[in-house]
Amino acid sequence: MLSDKSIDLHDRLIFALDVPTPEEARALVEELGDSVSFYKVGLELFMAGGYIELIDWLVRDKGKKVFADLKFFDVPQTVASAVRNLARTGAHFATVHGNDAIMEAAAREKGAMKILAVTALTSLDRGDLDDLGFQVDVADLVLSRARRSLALGCDGVISSGLEAPVIRGEVGQKILIITPGVRPVQNDDDQKRTVDVAQAFENGADYIVVGRPIRDHHGFETRKEAAESIQKTIASVFAA
């Protein structure tokens, strides 16, 4: 199941820059230095102000890659316009969360940016999906979303590491799989469908998204050491 795409090993770790302010985000980037080259910038920072300026700083000044995780979900024309504007920032990835028309509109305006479709959030379990009215197995839902997104021009999906093998087995290597909710140690937060670093890649992930395990850096003196430890694990998985 290991990814065979030509991706720099160092880029396979995406750090979730989920902090309240751009100032804290910049400080974290400086602290992590060369241990992280790819950053996810999401809704929390979007609502803090200075979002586009932060992306510009990451891309132009720091030479980092950016995953703009805004999960666009609106009428297709609005999503198309938003994606067109975001693509001008130099962001590498962007997320959409919607039906066929929304995904198709986003893919049409992506330019050099890659569009990732959300399948099922890793904070949801079977009971949550029942509450939302999805009377279908999680793996079936995720696979259906992956197939549709690829057919509509998207480049990849956001998927739990638990469902990644199903996608990779059915769709093959032509789709990007980005796996959030990765936990190097036992998990005790709000993420429910989690895997560890090695398991995520062995299950077919191309990239992993890690946030709290690096920010909290339990067992490590610094956040940079926590990130470097994950990078070493990634290198060992692909060297095996």
* CA–CA distance, 112 with 238 (Å, rounded to integer): 27
- The full 3-state SS of 158-191, as one line of letters, equals ECCCCCHHHHHHHHHHHCEEEECCECCCCCCCCC
Residue by residue, DSSP assigns 83-122 as HHHHHTTT-SEEEE-S-HHHHHHHHHT-TTSEEEEE-S-T
Q: Which residues pair with 67 in a beta bridge?
A: 40, 93
Catalytic entry in 5, 64, 71, 114: 71
User: Residue 79's closest CA among 94, 90, 60, 66?
Assistant: 94
Give residue 235's Cα distance to chain centre.
Answer: 19
**Annotation says 71 is catalytic:** yes
User: Residue 152's closest CA among 184, 95, 107, 113?
Assistant: 107
By annotation, the residues acting in catalysis are 71
